Homo-oligomer: A and B are copies of this chain.
Amino acid sequence: MGRPRTALLDKERITTTALGLVDRHGDFSVPRMAKLLGVQTASVYHHVDGRAGVIELLRERVASAIDAGTLALRPWDAAMAAWARSYRAAFAAHPRAIPLLTASPVRAPQVLIQYEHAAGLLQAAGFPLERIVAVIAGLEAIVLGSALDLAAPETMWEVPADGSTPRFAEALAAGGSGRADAAFELALEAFMEHCRRLLEHGGWRMAAGDGDRGDGVGDRG
């Protein structure tokens, strides 16, 4: 029983099967994928660079839902904010995959091109060249950090039953159900507003605590 006339497997089907397993069970294994695909475990290795390769495919698949068109919006802050929301929404669609995906970054060309667009956008908007990576990386940190909150929603903010954290419990109860979304929007809004201000006021060179209004926050060293 050797090579079939037409290939039984392809990366598409492999990726879909793996993502289905992750969505349902929080993880995948090559043998389980093979069983679902009706194939021997070893067959998968003819199409994919092992387990790590499957994870990379998952990363690309999930990231493909990011709407690159957002970066064509103007002005630049509308573009970056919409991009960040789309980025996070792509991860939010597969919360159980998030721990698998955040361990290492997306290297797919389609995503690197988005970085390129973002860099061009920020450069055109007037950001100093040496700050552009920090802006992109900061925004991405907010996106990924907020995404982690979606991965374990129940346990993330489980409050001890012994009443040892009354004020936190109170705040948690008052916060309502959309906590993760609210935190993301708060951080995103803060980030965009800060960048807008720095751009307008040319404040990039300002030393800490020079008194414009309450900038000196603490141990900056």
Contacts and interface: CB of A to CB of B under 8 A. Distances in A.
Most buried by B among A77, A157, A167: A167
Interface in A120-176: 120, 122-123, 129-146, 148-149, 151-152, 155-160, 164-168, 170-172, 174-176
A160 B106 CA distance: 12
A39 to B, nearest CB: 28
A44 interface: no
A144 B187 CA distance: 13
Contacts of A94: none
Contact of A186 (B85, B119, B134, B176): B134
Contacts of A189: 194, 215, 217
Nearest to A216: B78
A38 interface: no
Interface stretch (A2-10, A11-19, A29-37, A108-116): A108-116
A78 B195 CA distance: 21
A107 interface: yes
A81 interface: yes
A168 B137 contact: no
B187 A130 contact: no
B187 A132 contact: no
5 contacts: A107-B155, A107-B158, A115-B165, A129-B174, A187-B191
Given A116-B167, A133-B182, 5 more contacts: A132-B174, A138-B146, A139-B187, A141-B187, A145-B146
**Closest 8 A-B residue pairs measured CB to CB?**
A145-B145, A190-B194, A141-B145, A137-B183, A99-B103, A133-B175, A132-B171, A116-B165
